[in-house]
Amino acid sequence: MSTPLSSIISERVSTALPPPLRIALVITELDFGGAEQALVNLATGLSRERFSPAVYSLQSRPKNDLLVRRLEEAGIPVHFLDVHSHWQFFSAVSRLAELFRQQQPQVVQSFLFHANVVATMAARRAKVPRVMTGIRVADPSAWRQRVERWLTPQMDKIVCVSQGVADHARVILRLLRCRGDLAYQAGRLIECTGPTRCQTINRSQCRKTYAGLGIPKIF
């Protein structure tokens, strides 16, 4: 039974915490793989008191839907855009932008090349305040590098899984040419090393990153 004291404490606790930060996590597909597991680990490891995540997959629900079921069991909304051809590119951007308008995320974080492209364009169309993309490999494809360079000015942060990938990104994205100073280059890239597990995240680094994005302090 609730007592007056417990009600007061509960009310004070609820008013002390800001509303959960709305986050959109976007990936090319949710079949079983490294990037896909990283996304699911991140989404399911976030505190629901501080974060409100939703997941978007460009492709359809996979036959091996183990990762999807993990998200659903955690109560995380999962949306599939059913994109299977490059001819669906512009419709994918439009559909994802509409879903963003419905969720109204404060931060978009994407994983993998195709998701980076579609999510960045959709987020800017939907006027999402902050966009973070993820680079997991040093892709040698020249046309992909051109697309990534074209989109770089629209990205707030670029998450790289290793120092090697970060060094590759600095070269192919020509970050020094974006603003012309080393501090800007250092601030654009975030390097993540080691296994992707939520418990290894350094809180002080998280606070610094959020502050750099203009996001209010939430922990």
The whole-number pLDDT of residue 144 equals 80
Give the pLDDT band (50/70/90) at residue 17: confident
The whole-number pLDDT of residue 138 equals 77
d(CA 152, CA 117): 10
Give the pLDDT band (50/70/90) at residue 216: low
Dihedral sign from CA coordinates of 83, 89, 91, 97: positive
* DSSP per-residue codes, 193-204: -S---GGG--HH
The whole-number pLDDT of residue 219 equals 47
Give the pLDDT band (50/70/90) at residue 148: confident
Assess whether pLDDT exceeds 90 at residue 196: no
Is CATH 3.40.50.300 the right assignment for the domain spanning 19-212?
A: no
Assess whether pLDDT exceeds 50 at residue 186: no
The whole-number pLDDT of residue 200 equals 41
Task: Confirm if 97 and 131 have CB atoms less than 8 A apart.
Answer: no
The whole-number pLDDT of residue 160 equals 82
**Region class of 112: left (phi > 0), else alpha (psi between -120 and 50), else beta:** left
